[in-house]
Amino acid sequence: MVRGLYTASNGMIAQQEKMDIISNNLANVNTTGFKKDGVIIESFDSVLTQKVNDTSVPGNETIGKMTLGCRVGRVYTDNSQGGATATNDPYNVAILGAGMLNIGVEDADGNLQTKYTRDGSFTISTDGTLMTKEGNYVLGQNGKIVLPSGSNNVRISENGTIFYNDKEIDKLLLTDFENPESLRKIGDNLYKRTEETKESSFGGKILQGYLESSNVNTVREMVDMISVMRTYEANQKVIQTQDETLKKAVNEVGRL
């Protein structure tokens, strides 16, 4: 009976974590280059159950195996391509295919730490430095990308080469990964490497004047949200039933 409480509560915890992921996906449905997350729910490992201090059946202390319900096994990122939306802004770029843009984020000591993003909604500062909306630096093969200010006469080729008045200025630093699932989201639409991350050559294309849309399907997420809510409520009712049964066992059966 008490085991039923644990099983149902574990189910509620797993559904709550899944609801958090779905809510985050819906909150970022209009975020440029956002990749939705998914949840894999699995059962707890079965454990061998044994009798404790029960001498009624000597030599037969094993009851059998049981599990305590389910849990969130893994949260993964769906890296499928989002749609390309035209903006006609020369400082906007979208990636067609796999790969990511390299972004320089300053740490507390002023050093640039390389992070990665699919969000190509860049802007240019007063001194001509190409930056993200959050104020991070867009990295090229020569480090920070600095363009002549006060002009939109900038062209970015499919391989990321940046031209100003047909003169090559720099080239976007682009990276692809053999195992993109090893990257970790760190906020501001950025990713960081882990020890398992392995780089590979960039094979995608750059589209100037476009932005990649989020790959979140609003209808699908809403359907999943309703399913999660119903499952959560079902586990809640199981706990209420188990609690009422336990109350009767303690208050009424104990009197007999």
pLDDT digits (tens), the chain, 256 positions: 577 777 888 888 999 999 999 999 999 999 999 999 999 887 766 555 555 555 555 555 555 566 667 778 889 999 999 999 999 899 999 999 999 999 999 888 888 899 999 999 999 888 889 999 999 999 999 899 998 865 568 899 999 999 988 888 999 999 999 999 999 999 889 999 999 999 888 888 999 999 999 999 999 999 999 999 999 999 889 888 887 887 777 777 656 5
Same-domain pairing of 60 and 108: no
CB 44 within 8 A of CB 10: yes
Same-domain pairing of 112 and 65: no
Same-domain pairing of 68 and 94: no
48 vs 23: CA distance, rounded Å: 37
Residue 95: what residue type? I
Same-domain pairing of 60 and 139: no
Same-domain pairing of 104 and 34: no
87 vs 198: CA distance, rounded Å: 33
pLDDT, position 255:
63
Residue 85 in tokens: 């939306």
116 vs 104: CA distance, rounded Å: 9
Q: Number of structural domains, the chain?
A: 2
Same-domain pairing of 101 and 178: yes
Same-domain pairing of 93 and 202: yes
246 vs 190: CA distance, rounded Å: 49
CB 64 within 8 A of CB 147: no
Same-domain pairing of 150 and 126: yes
Closest CA to 146 of 129, 160, 159: 129
Per-position DSSP letters for 202-235, written without gaps between them = ---EEEETEEEPP---HHHHHHHHHHHHHHHHHH
Domain extent, residue 50, equals 2-79+217-255
Same-domain pairing of 242 and 200: no
Same-domain pairing of 128 and 241: no
pLDDT, position 50:
56
pLDDT, position 84:
92
Same-domain pairing of 152 and 203: yes
Indicate the pTM of the whole model: 0.81
Closest CA to 117 of 218, 163, 186: 186
pLDDT, position 202:
86
pLDDT, position 149:
65
Same-domain pairing of 113 and 20: no
CB 76 within 8 A of CB 40: yes
Cα(first)–Cα(last) distance of the chain, in Å? 20
Compute CA distances 247 → 1, 10, 256, whole Å: 11, 21, 15
- Look up tokens 């053999």; give the residue: 178
